[in-house]
Amino acid sequence: MEKRRQQWLVGTLVVAGIGAAGLMWNSSTRDTVVAVAGAPPPAVPRAAVPVHAVPAALSAAVPASVLAAAASQNLSAHVADLLASHDPHDPHDAYAAYMLVSSCASFNRRHDLEMHDNKLGVKRALSAEERRDMTRMCGAMTERERLARLDYLATAVKAGVPGAAWMHAAEGPFGDPSALTMRPDDPLVREWKVTAASQLDAAAEVGDTTALMLWGLQKLGGSDLTDKRPVQGYGYLVAVGLIESELAQPGDRSPQMFAEGSGLLTALGGQLTQAQRAAALIEARRIAAAAKARRERSDNKSGVLPASMPSGGLSAMPVERRG
């Protein structure tokens, strides 16, 4: 498969993973986000929210045309092509391999995926032909290949690939999200939680908007990985809007959704005082300014992604890496 087609596929899987990860908080909070475009959203519940369950939905909203075009090889060939890049140590290729394997694991469990049809602008189930294509690509995946995804992801997290820290947290301890609730006192699980939270904090501080958005939501209400820290969480969400305003493509609503004073942030930050909002805004501006400085320093470095969601926020399909 051509490298560009791989990048199309990987880009859509990254976007899909981010979108699916957004379903992590409970239904009332999710309704708050959905309602932003219409009437004033409901109040945000204070209950702690889980951090698990994302991998099962990784491939939601993948554009059908891309997967159909890319399903001419099996998974092993896709992964081998990615890892045989010009730079064998490229962490972005390792992350791409992780997303491909995770997508196939999801398809093999459910025997279906929810697709996003760009022409119609709606989500739909796979067609019979698309299901055959996915079966051809993913059907021969071995258990060793499925487990290897965690090694690919660890490489990406260590290198600071945008989005990787969140996906590592979503995978759960050693690929077992149930361990967070079934074995919370296990020393290994506790150690993993500390590591995952530290990685998410580091990713947010460098302006990874995936981490800023989803980790910010977790900090607003508390979760399996973090105590409730609403001021910090709110600041992370404001930083998403500031960063995305610098990167947004036409039609992207992310800057407006996460702007200070928007319907979404008014609902999510309703429990904060004016002084707390002001403090959060100062931190958000600091993070956004630092992220902008890093992007400017990396402008002339090929193959280096800015620490952000793919261009166009959650709705876009990046064709290749942005430098």
Q: What is the pLDDT of residues 56-107, one digit of tens each?
A: 333 334 444 335 435 566 778 777 777 776 565 688 888 888 888 888 888 8
Residue 62: φ, ψ to 5°: -85, 130
At 274, is the pLDDT very low, low, confident or very high (cuts 50, 70, 90)? very high
Return the structure tokens found at 82. Answer: 């990615």
Tokens 């956004």 correspond to 288
Residue 306 CB neighbour total at 10 angstroms: 23
d(CA 253, CA 244): 9
d(CA 247, CA 67): 26
Averaged confidence pLDDT in the chain: 73
Residue 26 CB neighbour total at 10 angstroms: 15
122-143 mean pLDDT = 83
Q: Indicate the pairing of strand 62-63 with strand 114-117.
A: parallel
Q: Lowest-confidence range among 54-63, 159-168, 175-184, 291-300?
A: 54-63
Task: Name the residue with higher pLDDT: 74 or 172.
Answer: 172
As to burial, measured by CB atoms within 10 angstroms (0-12 exposed, 13-18 middle, 19+ buried), residue 74 is middle
Residue 243: φ, ψ to 5°: -70, -45
Tokens 């501006």 correspond to 285
Residue 30: φ, ψ to 5°: -60, -40
Q: What is the pLDDT of residue 122?
A: 72
11-29 mean pLDDT = 39
At 319, is the pLDDT very low, low, confident or very high (cuts 50, 70, 90)? very low
Q: What is the pLDDT of residue 55?
A: 33
Q: Lowest-confidence range among 21-25, 191-195, 214-218, 294-298?
A: 21-25
CA 145 vs CA 27, 42, 99, 206: distances in Å: 33, 43, 12, 31
- The answer to whether residue 5 scores a pLDDT higher than 80 is no
CA geometry: angle 211, 221, 269, nearest 5 deg: 85
Return the structure tokens found at 80. Answer: 């081998």
Q: Which residues share a beta bridge with 62?
A: 115
Return the structure tokens found at 286. Answer: 């600091």
Q: Would you say 243 and 209 are in contact if contact means Cβ atoms under 8 Å apart?
A: yes
Is the alpha carbon torsion for 39, 272, 195, 181 positive or negative? negative
Q: What is the pLDDT of residues 290-300, one digit of tens each?
A: 999 988 887 75
